[in-house]
């Protein structure tokens, strides 16, 4: 079992610094992703702290690193993917090169139903495919069951979110123990024809001493994770 942390500039605003990533690595966090871009017809959001946080995660020895792009309606997935790739090449080029200091890089496509934008599932799949074609790196689709149910196309790895059973804010391992022991969470139940590979099970966890973090779990080994993010011919 591998635990993971997905972050954004909000985590920096809450106080996350390099020392938190080092502490998280020492506590067994095996994968870390950070928001990179979000593109709408009117603007492009570009994370201010992506480069420094991903670099700190590599220096901390976290094995698997990812960049996530939020897919939105109104801009072609090809354009959104190109924006994300260029951003990563500019701010963390080592991610797209042969791994040095970490085991592998992957994309996280953030597909959600926002109050202001009910993004269709096909857009997320299209963007994930485009990212893979542009870079040769696997894309995992973050798409919660509550939003898309069995309506996701394709067969790529899924990343679900379900916080039931995690309880009050606590260390990420303690929150997972609540979920696992009490079986209060069906986050790994099959959706769209396959079981999710990753589950975000809390949004208020303590990771590396940092509070109010998104905690995730992958039910497998480091080798299993590497296999999940390996592109197939």
- At 100-138, the pLDDT tens digits run 999 999 999 999 999 999 999 999 999 999 999 999 999
Go through the chain and tell me how many residues it has: 233
* Coil, strand or helix at 191: strand
Instruction: With a cut of 90, say whether residue 93 has pLDDT above it.
Output: yes
User: Does residue 200 contact residue 159 with C-beta atoms inside 8 Å?
Assistant: yes
Confidence check: pLDDT of 178 > 90: yes
User: Cβ(232)–Cβ(19) under 8 Å?
Assistant: no
Task: Report angle CA 65, 181, 207 to the nearest 5 degrees.
Answer: 35
What mean pLDDT, rounded, does the chain reach? 96
Nearest CA among 160, 96, 158 for reference residue 128: 158
Asked if the model's pLDDT at residue 183 lies above 70, the reply is no
Structure tokens at 216: 């995730």
Determine the pLDDT at residue 140.
98
Please answer whether residues 169 and 211 qualify as being in contact, where contact means their C-beta atoms are separated by less than 8 angstroms: yes
pLDDT band at 186 (very low <50, low <70, confident <90, very high): confident
% of the chain beyond a pLDDT of 70: 99
Yes or no: say if 64 and 103 are a contact pair by the CB < 8 Å rule: yes
β-pairing, 198-207 with 210-218?
Answer: antiparallel
> CATH code for 2-228?
3.20.20.80
Q: Would you say residue 49 has pLDDT above 70?
A: yes
Segment 184-194 shows an average pLDDT of: 89
How many angstroms separate the CA atoms of 19 and 226, rounded? 26
Q: How confident is the model at residue 5 (pLDDT cuts 50, 70, 90)?
A: very high
Q: Tell me what pLDDT residue 184 has.
A: 65
* Average pLDDT of the residues in 190-207: 97
pLDDT at 181: 79
* HSE-up of residue 77 (Cα within 13 Å, Cβ side): 20
Q: Among 73, 94, 97, 71, which Cα is nearest to 84's?
A: 71
What is the pLDDT confidence band of residue 60, given thresholds at 50, 70 and 90?
very high
Longest dimension (CA), the chain: 46
User: Nearest CA to 18 among 51, 52, 47?
Assistant: 52
**What is residue 201's predicted lDDT score, i.e. its pLDDT?**
96
| The pair of three-digit structure tokens given for residue 33, joined into one six-digit string | 């992703």
Residue 233, pLDDT > 80, answer no
Q: Look at 162 and 183; give whichever has higher pLDDT.
A: 162
> Is 52 a residue whose pLDDT tops 90?
yes
Mean pLDDT of 22-38: 98
Are 34 and 9 spatial neighbours (Cβ–Cβ below 8 Å)? Answer: no
Q: What is the predicted pLDDT for the residue at 21?
A: 98
3 state SS of 75 = coil
Which residue shows structure tokens 């079992």? Answer: 1
pTM of this structure: 0.97
Please report which residue ranges of 92-192 form alpha helices under DSSP H: 121-135, 145-148, 172-182
Would you report the helix, strand and coil content of the chain in percent, each value rounded to 5?
35, 30, 35
Q: How crowded is residue 97: how many other Cβ atoms within 10 Å of its Cβ?
A: 10
pLDDT at residue number 232: 83
Q: How far apart are CA 118 and CA 115, in angstroms?
A: 7
């Amino acid at each position: 079992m591998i635990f993971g942390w997905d972050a954004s500039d909000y985590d920096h605003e809450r106080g996350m610094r390099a020392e938190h990533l080092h502490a998280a690595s020492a506590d067994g966090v095996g994968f870390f992703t950070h928001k990179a871009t979000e593109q709408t017809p009117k603007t492009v959001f570009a994370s201010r702290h992506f480069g420094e946080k991903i670099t700190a995660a590599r220096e901390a020895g976290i094995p698997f690193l990812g960049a996530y792009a939020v897919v939105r309606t109104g801009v072609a997935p090809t354009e959104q993917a190109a924006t994300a790739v260029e951003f990563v090449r500019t701010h963390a080029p080592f991610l797209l090169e042969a791994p040095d200091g970490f085991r592998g890089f992957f994309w996280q496509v953030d597909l959600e139903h926002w109050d202001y934008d009910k993004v269709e599932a096909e857009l997320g799949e299209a963007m994930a495919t485009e990212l893979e074609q542009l870079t040769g790196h696997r894309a995992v689709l973050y798409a919660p069951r509550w939003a898309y149910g069995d309506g996701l196309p394709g067969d790529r790895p899924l990343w679900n979110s379900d916080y039931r059973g995690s309880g009050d804010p606590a260390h990420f391992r303690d929150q997972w123990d609540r979920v696992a022991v009490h079986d209060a969470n069906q986050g790994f139940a099959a959706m769209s024809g396959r079981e999710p590979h990753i589950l975000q099970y809390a949004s208020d966890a303590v990771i590396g001493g940092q509070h109010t973090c998104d905690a995730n779990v992958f039910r497998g080994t480091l080798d299993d994770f590497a296999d999940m993010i390996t592109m197939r011919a």
